[in-house]
Amino acid sequence: MNRLKTALYLSILPILALTSFPSVSEELVVKISRDISSIKAIHNGQPITIQRNQNTKNKIADNYALTSRPCPRFCIQPIKLAPGVETIGELEVIDYLQQIQRGNNQILVVDSRTPDWVKKGTIPGSISIPWTSLNEDSGADSISIGEILESQFNAIEQDNGWDFSKAKTVAFFCNGMWCGQSGNSIKALLKMGYPAEKLKWYRDGMQTWEALGLTTVK
């Protein structure tokens, strides 16, 4: 019987090698932090495990390998975007994703990039709200902007403007320190009166997310 079990196990090893299983912290060589091996997120209704690439020879994707993009347009962004807006890093984004997974519906992680970039890969658990959809200067109309404020950010429309007292805490990101899309989203919301303390900016965005080998979804 033991020989039969051994033979059966050996026969399915190729299948096991091709199957993706939830990671166990002790098995991961490359962890997110000393205390976090991987986390769970829901993306478009599907469960996703976020962890770092375990191939220690893995290199950054070609989409983010270019070092010299023309400025103006692709200029280096400041560390502090606006008074009261906190600049955050990967661990803070991961913490927000964990809170969302636990049922905190007062937090959002938003990909501010245009759809062509989102299709190349995004952070699991984030939602897509292109920066152009929040800016009238980019063609968005006040009605569609208002719908986003109400349906996504929990803002309440009033006769004299917007009530953001119950608005969500929102972490925005785009392509990285050379990308202004998430900054434009935040600045547009600040002009509407959105509380600065409820706006978070993941400045390093996809550039650093990819550089750290963290999971992306298309």
Give pLDDT tens digits for 186-201. 999 999 999 999 999 9
Quick check: 68 pLDDT over 50?
yes
Give domain status of residue 122, yes or no: yes
Greater model confidence, 82 or 26: 82
Considering the domain boundaries, does residue 8 fall inside one?
Answer: no
Q: Is the pLDDT of residue 4 over 80?
A: no
Cis status of the peptide bond prior to 72, with omega within 30 of 0: yes
Report the distance separating Cα 56 and Cα 167, nearest Å: 41
Q: Is residue 218 part of a domain?
A: no
What is the domain extent for residue 94? 30-211
Q: Is residue 58 part of a domain?
A: yes
Write down the pTM of the prediction.
0.86
For residues 172 and 93, what is the distance between their CA atoms, to the nearest angstrom?
Answer: 9
| Identity of the amino acid at 93 | V
Q: Given this model, what pLDDT does residue 26 score?
A: 55
pLDDT given at position 61: 87
Q: Give CA separation, 21 vs 24, 27, 121, in Å.
A: 9, 12, 21
Residue 174 has what pLDDT? 98
pLDDT, mean of residues 5-34 = 53
> Quick check: is 2 in a domain?
no
Query: Residue 14: its pLDDT value, please?
Result: 36
Residue 17, in any domain of the structure: no
For the four alpha carbons of 134, 194, 107 and 152, in that order, the dihedral sign comes to: negative
Give the position of tokens 């699991």.
124
Closest by alpha carbon to 86, among 196, 203, 200?
200
Asked if residue 9 has pLDDT above 60, the reply is no
The answer as to whether 81 is a domain residue is yes
The Cα diameter of the chain in Å comes to 79
Question: Lowest-confidence range among 15-19, 21-25, 56-60, 154-158?
Answer: 15-19
Q: How many domains does the chain have?
A: 1
- Exposure of 118 in the CB half-sphere (CA atoms within 13 A): 17
∠60-88-181 over CA atoms, to 5°? 70
**10 pLDDT above the threshold of 90:** no
Continuous H helices in 40-197? 90-101, 115-118, 142-151, 181-192
With respect to residue 206, please indicate whether it lies within any of the assigned structural domains.
Answer: yes
Average per-residue pLDDT for the chain? 89
What integer is the mean pLDDT of 146-167? 96
Domain CATH number, residue 113: 3.40.250.10
> pLDDT per residue over 100-116, tens digit each?
999 999 999 999 999 99
Percentage of residues in the chain with pLDDT exceeding 70?
A: 88
Checking if the pLDDT of 6 tops 70, the result is no
Query: Looking at the predicted structure, is the pLDDT value of residue 25 above 80?
Result: no
Q: What pLDDT score does 19 carry?
A: 31
pLDDT at 63: 87
